[in-house]
Amino acid sequence: MTQRRALPKICIALGLPDVPRLLEQARREADSGENFLEFRLDYLPDPVAGTRAIAEFLGEHPNCTILATCRRHQNHGRFNGSIEDQLKIHDLAIEAGARAVDIEIETAEVVPERCAALRTRAQLVISWHHFETTPPLDPVLKRMQKIPADVYKIVSTARKPTDMGRILAASRMSPKIPLVTLAMGELGFPSRVLSTALGAVYTYAAPAHVQGTAAGQINARQLRSLYRIDKFTKNAKIYGVVADPVRHSVSPYVHNRAFQSRRIDAVYVPLLVSANQLRDFFQFAEALPLAGFSVTLPHKRRIMRYLDHVDPLARRIGAVNTVWRKGGKWRGANTDAEAVSGPLAKLVKLPTATALIVGNGGAARGAACALADAGTKVAITGRNADRVRALARLVGGEPMSHEQVLLRHFDIVVNATPVGMWPNVNECYFNGKIPGEIIFDMVYNPLETQLIRRAREQGKQAIPGVKMFIEQAVRQFEIWTGETAPRAAMETAAMDALETRYSEQRL
C-alpha cells in the first residue's frame, strides 16, 4: 500500500478544456508556490492525454501532489465513458505519478474491489455531491464509509445558512473520520474558509485568473492572504458581515487585516443572508458559533427583533449594524452614527453648526440622530416627503424640499443616499453649487464620488465615504475585541481593496 503522507491544506482545482492550457495553469500555480493540484481529466476531450500531462508536469515539479479526477457525466462530471473506462484512466493517472484519485460514491459502490486495488497504489478519495440542496448527512456518511478510503469528500449546495452549518459540523463532530466538507454556491462560501480549521483534511480553491470548477471557489492567494487560512486555529473566533448581496463587501479585507495586525486568532467572512432567512441565520450563528458580525443592507432594521439587547441609540435610530454575543445573549449597537459625528467634530463645532441631511433611510436616520444629539441644528431633505417629515420630527429638525435647500446654506451637508455609487458614478444630488462648507458623502465606491469631486472643485472641505466606513469598522473591532483598533492598517486595507475593485469594475 502507498505511503499515506498528509495532504496539503489547499487543493487547486484545474478544469481546463485542453492539455496545453491545463499544463500552463498547473505550471503557473506551482511557480507561485502551490503544491497540491487537482487535474480534472474529465474536462479534457481525451482524458488519457491528461494522464500523460500528469507525468510531464511531475517531471518538472516533482514536489507537487496531484489528485486525479475523472467524474462521469451521470454524476455531474464530463466523462462519457463506462465505469471500466473511468477506472482505466485512474490506473493510468496513478502510473503517471498521481498521489491520489477521486472516485464518486456511485462508481465506488459498483466496483468496491477495484477501488481497494487502486488504494494500494494511491490515496483514495471517495466523493459525494448534491447539486440541489443539503439533505441529512448522517446517512450519507454511513453509506460512504462502507467503502474503505483515505478521505471522504461531502459536497452539498447551501440554500440557507443552516445548510452550511451542517456541512461544517460534519468534520467537527467526526474528528476520527478524514473528511473534506464543502457547501457550494455563494451562500456556502465560508465553508471553504472555515472547514480545515474545524477538522477537514483540505479545501478547494480556484486557479488564479481562471474560473474554478465549482460555484463559490476563490483562488488560493485570497485564502492565504485575505482569510489567513494557514494561520487561524480551531479555537479562532469567527466574525462576518451579514448582507444581501455580500460579495462586494470590503469589510473582510479591513477586519482580517486588523486581526492580523493585532495577532488575534480570529477570522471574518462574508455571510450571504436573504431577507427571509434571518431566523435560520441565527440558528446557524448559535451552532457555529459566531462571536459577532457586521450588519448591512437589507437587515439593519429587521435584525433588531432577533437580539436580546439593543443599545438605546440604535433603538432610537431604528437600525443596528454591529452584533456581538456576551453572556450567551445577542447584543446590538449602531456604530454608523458615531462614524458620522466623529470626523465632523474634528472640523467644526457641532453644537453651533447647521447640517443638511440628504436622504430619509437608515443611513440618514443614523446621521441625523448623531448630529442632533451633538447639538447641531439639522434639516432633512429627500425624495419621500412623508419619511422626510417623520425623520425631522424624530430629531427635532426641519423638513425641506429640494427647492428650499437650494435657497439656504449649511455648515455641513451629508449625502446619506446611494446617489453617485457605482455603477452610476456620474450622478450627483447637486447639479450646481453645493449649499454647504463641509461635504460628507457616505458613498465609498468609487473612492472619489462626483459629489466629492465637485466639492473640492468648489473649494469646500470634503469627507469621502471611506472615512465613515473606517470609523464604524474601528468601533466594531473595539466592541468585539476590547482592544484598540489598528486604524492605519484598516484604512490601508480599505483603500487597497476599493482601488482594486474600482479598477476591475472599469475594465
Grid cell of 148 as nine digits:
474503505
Q: Looking at residue 445, what is its pLDDT? A: 86
Can you give the pLDDT at residue 504?
Answer: 65
CA atoms within 13 A on the CB side of 296: 20
Low-confidence stretches of the chain (pLDDT < 50) are: none
| SS3 call for 154 | strand
- DSSP secondary structure string, 253-273? HHHHHHHHHTT-SEEEEEEE-
The pLDDT tens digits of the residues spanning 128-144 come to 999 999 999 999 999 99
- Spatial distance between the Cα atoms of 298 and 277, rounded to a whole number of angstroms: 12
The residue count of the chain comes to 507
Q: Could you give the dihedral angle defined by the CA atoms of residues 61, 12, 233 and 320, in that order, rounded to the nearest 10 degrees?
A: 150
pLDDT (0 to 100) of residue 462:
97
Instruction: Supply 89's cell numbers.
Output: 484512466
Output b/e per residue, 174-186; b: 16+ Cβ within 10 A.
beebbbbbbbbbe
Neighbours of 200 (CB within 10 A): 25
Q: Let me know if 144 is exposed, middle or buried by CB neighbors in 10 A (0-12, 13-18, 19+).
A: buried
Distance in angstroms (rounded) separating the CA atoms of residues 460 and 507: 31
DSSP state letters, 378-430: EEEE-S-HHHHHHHHHHHT-EE--HHHHTT--EEEEEE-S-TT-TT-TT--S-
- The closest alpha carbon to 50, from 58, 60, 62, 40, belongs to 40
Residue of 300, 346, 349, 467 marked catalytic: 300
Q: What is the pLDDT of residue 174?
A: 86
Do residues 120 and 87 lie in contact, with contact meaning Cβ atoms separated by under 8 Å?
no
Query: What's residue 373's pLDDT?
Result: 95
Cite the DSSP H helix spans in 100-247: 105-108, 112-119, 138-144, 161-173, 189-194, 220-225
- Residue 300: active-site member: yes
What is the pTM for the complete model shown? 0.92
Chain CA centroid to CA 167, Å: 17
